[in-house]
Amino acid sequence: MSDVIEPVSEALIERAKGSLGRRNLVFVGLMGAGKSAIGRMTASVLGIPFVDSDHEIERVSRMTISELFSAYGEAEFRALEGRVIKRLLKTGPRVVSTGGGAYINEVTRRHIRKHGLSVWLNAELDVLWERVNKRDTRPLLKTENPKQTLETLMHLRYPVYAEADLTVISRDVKKEVMVEEVLSALAAMPKK
């Protein structure tokens, strides 16, 4: 079996674009699922803009996510996050990656449903842990047992993420494979 990744076919790209239409493609899922990396690559393949909601929040607030959590708490951060995502979804099409808790907020979820297609990058605990345990930039993981905290978040959030329009399994494969799976899932959606 070859490790060479074939370029995504133009036919698949066109079908995916047709299914997306003017809507936004919004990546949801837990930290470490690959929302930013896969989202950025998907946007590139589709030839549409990409925006990471966490980076946009940091840009408009002039604070890091960790600083916002420390200064204002999670509830205030979620309110700001909701406002930023609502603004980002006003125009499309574009690809938006969201923070892990964004889709959990009912109001934000409604905005995503109204102005986009949501894609849940669903990953197992060990995959997520391998990706997030090397950095201490995750405010929700600043606990005595961060892996247990991550597992608890999975149990709480996965039922809500399951409401997403599309689900793609995030695992340790080449990012190009994940992008093609996202495009295939998108292409299978009815055109809007």
User: 3-class secondary structure for 62-101?
Assistant: CCCHHHHHHHHHHHHHHHHHHHHHHHHCCCCCCEEECCCC
Q: How far apart are CA 87 and CA 44, in angstroms?
A: 22
Q: Residue 121: give the domain boundaries.
A: 16-186
Whole-model pTM: value is: 0.90
Which is nearest to 112 in space by CA: 87, 94, 86, 83?
A: 86
Q: How far apart are CA 191 and CA 20, in angstroms?
A: 7
Structural domain contains residue 3: no
Domain count for the chain, please give it.
1
Contact 46, 17 (CB under 8 A): yes
**Secondary structure of residue 163 in the 3-state scheme:** coil
Structural domain contains residue 113: yes
Contact 45, 183 (CB under 8 A): yes
Q: What is the pLDDT of residue 189?
A: 86
Q: How far apart are CA 139 and CA 179, in angstroms?
A: 28
**Secondary structure of residue 9 in the 3-state scheme:** coil
Q: Using the Cα atoms of residue 119, residue 110, residue 102 and residue 21 in order, give the sign of their dihedral.
A: positive
Structural domain contains residue 58: yes
Structural domain contains residue 8: no
Structural domain contains residue 156: yes
Structural domain contains residue 7: no
Structural domain contains residue 159: yes
Q: What is the pLDDT of residue 129?
A: 86
Give the pair of three-digit tokens for residue 127.
């995959």
Q: What is the pLDDT of residues 144-158, one digit of tens each?
A: 788 888 899 999 999
CATH code, 36: 3.40.50.300
Q: What is the pLDDT of residue 3?
A: 46
Residues of the chain short of pLDDT 50, as ranges, are 1-4
Structural domain contains residue 130: yes
